[in-house]
Amino acid sequence: MPPIVSIDDSVVTSLSAVNEQRLDVQLRQLEFHALLHRKLDLQQLLESFLAEGQGFVRFDGLQYQAAGRGMDILIGEMRQHRQCFELKLGDKDLGEVTLVRGKAFSAREQRESERLIESLVYPLDNSLEHYSALLMSMTDTATGVHNQRAIDEQLPREIRFARRSEQPLSLMLLTVDYLESISEHHGVEVGRQAWQSVAEALSERLRQSDIIFRTEKDEFLVILNHTDIEDALALTDRLRRQVDRCVSYDNVQFMLTASAGVTELDADDDSQILLDRARQALSMARQSGRNQVMALPAETPDGGDSPDDGSVA
């Protein structure tokens, strides 16, 4: 005989309870959308998406890639199972977002993930526009590299990261020798071309992990991540030799040489102390005849001897 099920034994969700559950989901979705729209910083937007998106679909990490913008951001933990979404807004290509986790996504979770990703499109577009405007404000118009404002924001961040990861970090400060005489004898535009030529020469030879800036004192600053002072000295000399060449502009030919100073991050350094020591090393190179590199470790703040006399000519 089949089992008898009475009305008291059945599990029935009332219509009011169903409507209440739907309303709760809709409110959480609205709060989620509002939260994302308040995040203009790209990193903060993606971190919020990871943290708050867990309420809709469980995932352990995400990767955002936009090759045309030079972006590859990883947040959370990388796992083997993934869902990849290409984001577009009209004709705009916003990049690609990949959700990852240790357990395979079910068919239902794949659909929910797609709806979740849809909520990211407009906030991501706003964030990328904000990033572009911010990037413009941090770009030196004469050379196309980062400017002094970018140094003030980026250098403390790179120092914190180096200490967290327990990796060495060095600074290279390089300037064109006798730039003033080039501009004086050949004109301001030729002097500007000299700066562009040096920026191109350096950028072509820098590693992907290195970050180049132009300072307010007309120097090129390069943050050399994962690099100790000995390796920084060797790398900087190779870059100096790359600069040392004949440049032509509007039928004017002139020789470019460069002087540089390098130093390594010490336990007690802040960004200003580190930058001041790199500038002192540069001053030593210029006073010693220019067209050379000098290294100044933290242990020799008075300009004393450094490894291998601290110079490469």
pLDDT above 90 covers what percent of the chain? 46
Model confidence, pTM = 0.62
Dist. CA 234–CA 259, nearest whole Å: 14
pLDDT value of residue 3: 45
Q: What are phi and psi of 146, to 5 degrees?
A: -65, 155
Torsion of CA 159, 257, 280, 199, to 10 degrees: -30
List, for residues 280-306, the tens digit of each pLDDT value.
Answer: 999 999 999 999 999 999 875 444 444
* Domains identified in the chain and CATH numbers: 15-136 (3.30.450.40), 140-312 (3.30.70.270)
Residue pLDDT, tens place only, 24-59: 656 778 888 888 999 988 989 999 999 999 889 999
CA-nearest of 230, 202, 194 to 307 is 230
Q: Could you report the per-residue pLDDT of 93-106, keeping only the tens digit for each?
A: 999 999 999 999 99
Among residues 76, 269, 75, the alpha carbon closest in space to that of 168 is found at 269
CA separation for the pair 90, 40 (Å, rounded): 20
Instruction: Give dist(CA 50, CA 53) in Å, integer.
Output: 5
